[in-house]
Amino acid sequence: MEEKPLVIITGASSGIGAATAKLFADAGHPLLLLARRVEPMEALQLPNSMCRAVDVMDVDTFRSAIDEAESAYGKADCLVNNAGVMFNADPTTQSVDEWQKMLDVNVRGLLNGIHLVLGDMVERKAGTIVNIGSIAGIKTFTKHAVYCGTKFAVHAITETIREEVCGSDVRLINIAPGMVETDLVNSSTDEEAKAGWWDYANEIGGALQPESIAQSILFAYQMPQSVCVREMVVCPTRQEP
């Protein structure tokens, strides 16, 4: 049986990241799983997986984890840039610390991941980077101003770099989920905004499960390297905006 190449997943301790890890493990890929909390990743007990406590803002630790995994499993063929934070709030009251955190993790952290694998992928003329954007990177939502800004940035970064490296047969893919039931929304400190999110999710029959996004990621990745699913917007059918 042909050995599958290494897949790196950030934010792999829960939600979309954990679901994606399970699906790629089932498909036979060795994995480098990265998140600030290592215990939930180890609890997944996935075969051929390396779990490391990495903050995507720490480039040196991020690089060391990739080097270690590539020494064990070979060159990374796919990076799933999934780590992210979302704080919903009224812009007149939201703290600048929350704004900075979203800009740091959602934009700079994603760029760190791209920086660490892209050059080698271009040199090898192979590889796929999947960036987890959002429908909030396509249209705006109230109480999501800065979050929307970070996801619009993900959209622009993904598409621009894709144009620049497509001649080297390297793919960049933007997966843009709508409402997904994860811990992400629960991190908001604005209780009214958080309650509003869940109220609307209940009205439409529930948010998506993380497994639906994981399946979308795997589908896009498993297409032939000559096919690039540039963008996929995945939402609950009843989600109106």
Residue pair 145/236 in contact by the 8 Å Cβ criterion: no
Contact in structure between 123 and 218 (CB atoms under 8 Å): no
- Residues 205 and 227: their CA atoms lie apart, in Å, by 34
**If DSSP codes are grouped into helix, strand and coil, which group holds residue 225?**
coil
> What's the rounded Cα separation, in Å, for the pair 119 and 229?
21
Q: Give, as one character, the DSSP assignment of residue 108.
A: I
Residue 23, Cβ density class (10 Å: 0-12 exposed, 13-18 middle, ≥19 buried): middle
Closest CA to 41 of 69, 75, 17, 60: 17
Distance of CA 167 to the CA centre of its chain: 24
Catalytic residue (one of 73, 147, 200, 221) = 147
Q: Strand 31-35: give its sheet, edge to edge.
A: 49-53, 31-35, 6-10, 76-81, 128-132, 171-177, 231-234
Q: Annotated catalytic, 200?
A: no
DSSP states of 100-152: HHHHIIIIIIHHHHHHHHHHHHHHHT--EEEEE--GGGTS--TT-HHHHHHHH
Residues tagged active-site? 147
